[in-house]
Amino acid sequence: MKKTIASIIAVTMAMAALPAAAETVVIVSAKNPASRMFSEQAAQFFLGKSTMFTPIDQAEGSAIRNEFYKKVADKDAAQVKALWSKLVFTGKATAEPKEFKSNAEVKKAVAEDPKAIGYIDKSAVDDTVKVILTLQ
């Protein structure tokens, strides 16, 4: 019985010590009139199905990028890459979204372009951009 209680306490303490998962948000320039968006809408811009916004991507292979595409489109990195390759090859798109190496670089690119849309960690948000979707 003591071992069971000790095990439960140990597991509880270990779980409490785990860092909280970072929250990813979809952002647009503070100058953009958009105020809200659904995941399905965001997926359309990042998968080349709409040109209303210019998608700005995080670096290929980054954890935030993998998490983003899984949450908004239920796709992994290879599926997204294949989709964009097909769009470019068939002429339905001229190029894949521009990639940036950090939240700060994505935020700067989005802030400077009222038509841009990107995603960053919520902790990186400031008044130069506007959050239009928080991913759960």
Cβ neighbours of residue 41 under 8 Å, at least 6 residues apart?
A: none
Strand order in the sheet with 129-134: 98-100, 54-58, 116-121, 24-29, 129-134
Say whether pLDDT at 8 is over 70.
no
Burial zone of 1 (CB within 10 Å; 0-12 exposed, 13-18 middle, 19+ buried): exposed
- The pTM (predicted TM-score) of the whole model is 0.82
Q: What is the mean pLDDT of residues 34-53?
A: 94
Handedness of CA 42, 46, 47, 50 (dihedral sign): positive
Residues in the chain: 136
Residue percentage of the chain with pLDDT more than 70: 85
The per-residue pLDDT for range 88-136, each reduced to its tens digit, is 999 998 889 999 999 999 999 999 999 999 999 999 999 999 999 999 8
133 has which bridge partners?
A: 26
Which amino acid, 64? I
